[in-house]
Structure 1
């Protein structure tokens, strides 16, 4: 016979301790969690996922058609704030400093020989090149090959970086691939200064590449400049180089600029263009869209870091000593060889205060006999006095 009011079954001994009972509601179910705690947990998980993924979560209920007009209106109002009046003197100073750098480097390379590789961007300032095997060969068909040296030019030291010239404003519509031929290509530094409100001359805007000759005969310049005057030119060139890089860095803090992650393309504006001529990785023949990132000073003014020879280095730099040799930007090394004083911030890169230890063996010694053989000859008191079989 069935009981009308059966006694409740005791809880499982695995989940509850002896003497405890599970709380139940009138419906026979556990009580619901506090809604305040649930909201706090949901908000905590939201912030955790946002911080780890680096992205934001937007609701799908947002009407993007209404937001589109608001975004476009904000872009139009933002364009009215440019150019910034306080940055116009900085832009004018950058234009003048760039002209001084081009003129100074073009005069210095007439007295100081420079060598450039025929198949890669490697450069060396000196009569002979080095033997460091960092050349990729013709069309990148090889690796770690010797360089084929030829006479260098101005464009080998001051690498030209061009961008599209936006005549109306940098906040205009994005340039599409079919419109790439409708816009002129100008040096990126001049385009940045032009958008910043600088007084850029028309002849500077329409000069597609740097020119080393300014209508002056080389023989006249060689006879007119003495070593003291050449040192003065090097000092002025070095000061103009530092002013130009410092001014470009200040302008990039105010004006947006983009650079490609895989190539040297630069665009002055809040968003890049859609012209498909990016050579991704080593496939230079493949043209694709650019992957834009925020531009830096080195993207607009490439320093062109090269190997340099110190007084304690061998006459020709060898490949096995590449870890001991110093490096420096091409303009800095050129001005230093002309007698200019180099700023202290380049000493670490150039390894000026470091000596080269010429060991007989490259491997670490394991015995006393090998240790005596590996003593550097630059220390006469420790040099071996007798030969060992």
Structure 2
């Protein structure tokens, strides 16, 4: 009996303590009084940007991006890339695979065989554009203002807000220039295997530097991505341009639903099916669970004879079986 009484006293004491420590707030808040305080905090916060310690990181990201575009453009002159006519599927090889993962024209079907055409640079390095802001803490872009702002690559905008001018020619070193990608890649068919391996090695290193640098910048500079589409906005808050679900088969037409952006949102890895040495010449749909995957840039670079980083081995299923035994 004494134990029950003591336990009951402990429970009532804890509940009484919780009630005493609870705080009650007014349900009505005067936003007119809070608005000057919020604007003042935004102005004071803008004084801390750009962060000077992140400027070298942004410069390294832009240089890596230039090397990546140059390297991929050169490798595409030698190694064929196939892209599906009706969906975003890409395959590195002379012939496409036979895996039935196509959604068809306007997504009217599913699990169909792909119809392959020749791929291009945008199939490997997916372009992600965003609105260019004059100031990171400027007013939110309204729907009627969407044509008043330029659209630039999201990585370039991120580095721009980090305090780096992407059009500064002194920042780019070496003979690889992003503005002259097509001219520099002419004559790539005459490269020796050793030269192709050097180009692939530099391209893969630029790919890793780019993704690592963007990840560091996202820890300091905010970026948003829409939950329902791939729209990206570099800034503390998303824009109000109603561009989400503009196609007929999308029923949620209207404003974006913003959430925190990650590295894959600004630099899409573009995962493709990876053909291993033990696999057949054409990947078949019946054995699709045995095949591996890899980012398109990694798969393209390995075609030149270099070894992929070990962190991709699990995704690629390097030691996996080609089919059922």
TM-score for both structures, normalised by structure 2: 0.88
Match of 1:60 in 2: 27
Q: Which residues in structure 2 correspond to 1:1-389 (within 5 Å)?
A: 40-42=17-19, 58-167=25-134, 169-201=135-167, 213-216=181-184, 218=186, 220-223=187-190, 225-279=191-245, 283-284=249-250, 287-358=253-324, 376=325
- Residue 206 of structure 1 aligns with which residue? none
Question: How far does residue 41 in structure 1 lie from its aligned partner after superposition?
Answer: 4.0
Per-residue CA deviations over 1:313-335 (Å, capped at 9, x if unaligned) read 12111111111100000000000
Structure 2 unmatched runs, 5+: 1-11, 170-177
For the pair shown, which has the larger CA radius of gyration, 1 or 2? 1
Q: Secondary structure at the match of 1:124?
A: strand
Tell me the CA shift for residue 215 of structure 1: 2.3
Higher relative contact order (CA 8 A, sep 6+): 2
Distance in 2 (alpha carbons) for counterparts of 1:82 and 1:107: 37
Distance 2:141 2:83 in 1: 35
Extract structure 1 runs of 4+ deviating beyond 4 A.
35-39, 210-213
Superposed displacement of residue 216, structure 1: 4.4
Matched positions, count:
306
Deviation at 1:211, TM superposition (A): 8.3
**CA deviation profile, 1:118-151 (whole Å, cap 9, x unmatched):** 0000000000000111101011111111100000
Unaligned runs of 5+ in 1: 1-34, 48-56, 204-209, 359-375, 377-389
Quote the Cα distance in structure 2 between the aligned partners of 1:344 and 1:302. 20
SS of 2:290's partner is: coil
In the superposition, the TM-score normalised over structure 1's length comes to: 0.74
